[in-house]
Every structure is written in C-alpha cells, then in structure tokens.
Amino acid sequence: MAASPLTWLGHASFRLDSPGGKRVYVDPWLDNPKCPGSEKDPERCDVIAVTHGHSDHLGSVVAITQKLGPVPIVAQVELKGWLKEQGAQTDDVPGPNKGGTVEAEGIKFTLTNAFHSSSADDGTYLGEAAGIVIELEDGKKIYFAGDTCVFGDMQLIGRIYAPDLAVLPIGGHFTMDPREAAVACELLGVKRVVPSHYGTFPLLAGTPDELKRLAPGVDVHALEPGESVEL
C-alpha cells in the first residue's frame, strides 16, 4: 500500500491521506490564521472526523460537504445530528458515541474519552468532547486526543488501541500544556507525537521545544503548517 502522510493545517486541523488513497479531514477549521492558502479550499474529501463542537474544530465541515458531498462525517451522535441541521451533506447513519467504532471508506474510527466542553457558539449542547482513534487500511493507528487535559485512562487507550502516533494539544489555557502532554505520552506508551492546538493565538503559549525537553524519549514531530509526517 501507499504511504500515509499526516499534514498539519494549523491549529487542530489535519489532513490524513490513507494508504488506500482516501483523504480524511480531522477537525477542519481551514479559516484558521495558520492554515496555508493552498489548503483552504479542498479539492476532494472522503471522510470528515470531528472531536467536538467548538467552532475552531468544525468551522469548515458544512462548507466542505456542501462543495464535495455528500461526505461521511464521524462525530458523536448529537454533534453529527446538529451538523446535518446546519446543512452538512452527509449520510443518515447516526453518529457513534464513546467506545463505539464505525467504518467509513474502509477506515475504522473509534471515539474515546476526553475531558473538555462541547457546544455551538450560541451555547447549544453538542454532546461531550471525544478523542478519536483512526485505524487505517494497513492496520496503523493514530490517536487524535482532541481538546483535553491529561487523564489517567489514557493508559487504557494505549493498552486497548496501541496507537502508532498520537496527536496531542500542547497550547495550554483551553487544553493540556507541554507538561501534561509529556505525561500523556507516558500513559499512552507512544514514541511518536505530533503537537497541535498551539501558536494560533498568543494565549496558546505551549511549544514543541518544551515538550521535547519534558519527554526526551519521544520523537516530537514539530510540523510547520502545511508540512507532513509519514505514519
């Protein structure tokens, strides 16, 4: 099978190209200040996965599906239903919930726990925040923590799903910072990490260099927006 590049699109937005040729967008907010201009208008999209309902994680979902849809959306059941109400062009399969696994375009998506809030800009309840484990066609797995603090049951995520790579927020203030992310690496048992949710605004002050210092045995892939790492 082909390679599997994971491309950071700034903030918490990622494009994942699977070995089977599928293109997955995770938490696409392509109007974020760090997103490269060449990535703001996707040419194709096979699946969208969303961790929670804050606009900085789903700001481009409706627009992508209206341009390229219908597109399968993997999101918690309340959130997927709300996205359809907002005009997202997707299927009628109910969204999963934590512990549930769904398959879309030959790729498996499992929702895990996360500790964070989840609501629309007007305060509408959109379920709970979640993490997502994505298992590609070749069996490789990537864990997107979404927005969360560190929590002890990350050890269970490592034990059950054994991700090959983790995407962890490090900015602080709204999520864990590098100190907590270093402990998350230990609990998960991962040796490869892509930092996210930092540097978009001054408030998100955590840095990959700090994570590298605090997690010396972990390969921290400090991507620039638009850069990729191979799984």
Instruction: Give tens-digit pLDDT for 7-36.
Output: 999 999 999 999 999 999 999 999 999 999
In terms of pLDDT, which residue wins out, 3 or 20?
Answer: 20
Q: pLDDT tier at 215 (50, 70, 90 boundaries)?
A: very high
For residue 136, what pLDDT is reported?
A: 98
Report the pLDDT value the prediction gives residue 115, as an integer from 0 to 100. 98
CATH code of the domain occupying 5-223: 3.60.15.10
Per-residue pLDDT at 187: 98
pLDDT tens figures, 132-170: 999 999 999 999 999 999 999 999 999 999 999 999 999
Report pLDDT digits (tens) over 63-112: 999 999 899 999 999 999 999 999 999 999 999 999 999 999 999 999 99
Q: Is the pLDDT of residue 1 over 60?
A: no
d(CA 86, CA 34): 25
Region 195-204 average pLDDT: 97
Q: What SS3 string covers the chain?
A: CCCCEEEECCCCCEEEECCCCCEEEECCCCCCCCCCHHHCCCCCCCEEECCCCCHHHHCCHHHHHHHHCCCCEECCHHHHHHHHHCCCCCCCCCCCCCCCEEEECCEEEEEEECCCCCECCCCCECCCCEEEEEECCCCCEEEECCCCCCCCCHHHHHHHHCCCEEEEECCCCCCCCHHHHHHHHHHHCCCEEEEECCCCCCCCCCCHHHHHHHCCCCEECCCCCCCEEEC
The domain limits of the chain are 5-223
- Average pLDDT of 39-56? 98
Q: What pLDDT shows up at residue 58? A: 97
pLDDT for the residue 124: 96
Predicted pLDDT at 69: 87
